[in-house]
């Protein structure tokens, strides 16, 4: 009995640190441990076990994610807009074979707002915020800034990947 109680204390401490709720039920001479894990929008993922009773010790919280759904990235959205004839007033190809494109100085905010809505932002996306993301892409090499106003170029590998995605669809 003392052995089981020690195991329970170790488990209780680790679960309380994780903000989980524990209920212990005793039935006659035998001790029965019943654990209720209550957590909003998450489910426990057991990463280890307690050696004395094979009980879970560490719990990792995982958020339920939509099955197989990845977040769309800005460069994918821009490529889609470049393929859409109705968006030519906002964004167009300067040289499609090289992957160079340009934003309209009058309608760049409209394109940024569309990107914000696509992402599901509550606040309105501005061109300044979107341009920051484009600058971050230059660090990863997916998009480079061209030395012309509002002009950018897709990396060769990124462009091939995007063109491959559209040929499948």
Residues of the chain below pLDDT 50: 2-5, 7, 20-47, 49-55, 57-65, 168-169
Enumerate the β-bridge partners of residue 44: 61
Half-sphere exposure of 159 toward its Cβ, with a 13 Å CA cutoff?
A: 16
pLDDT tens string 29-42 = 444 444 444 444 44
Task: Return the sign of the alpha-carbon dihedral for residues 53, 54, 57, 63.
Answer: negative
Q: Which fold has domain 74-168?
A: Arc Repressor Mutant, subunit A (1.10.10)
Cα–Cα distance between 129 and 125 in angstroms, integer?
A: 7
- Could you state, in order of their start, the residue ranges of all structural domains in the chain? 2-62, 74-168
Closest-CA residue to 105 (of 92, 121, 123, 86): 92
Q: What is the pLDDT of residue 164?
A: 84
What does pTM read for this prediction?
0.57
């Amino acid at each position: 009995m003392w052995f089981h109680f020690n195991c329970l204390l170790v488990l209780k401490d680790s679960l309380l640190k994780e903000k989980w709720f524990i209920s212990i039920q005793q039935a006659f001479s035998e001790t029965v441990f019943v654990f209720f894990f209550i957590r909003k929008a998450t489910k426990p993922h057991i990463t280890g076990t307690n050696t004395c009773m094979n009980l879970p010790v560490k719990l990792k919280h995982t958020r339920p994610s939509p099955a197989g759904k990845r977040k769309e990235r800005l460069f994918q959205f821009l490529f889609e807009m470049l393929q859409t004839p109705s968006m030519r007033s906002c964004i167009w190809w300067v040289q499609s074979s090289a992957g160079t494109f340009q934003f309209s100085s009058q309608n760049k905010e409209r394109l940024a707002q569309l990107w914000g809505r696509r992402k599901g932002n509550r606040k309105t996306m501005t061109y300044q915020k979107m341009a920051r993301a484009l600058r971050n892409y230059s660090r990863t090499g997916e998009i480079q800034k061209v030395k012309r106003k509002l002009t950018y170029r897709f990396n060769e590998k990124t462009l091939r990947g995007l063109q491959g995605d559209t040929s499948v669809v």
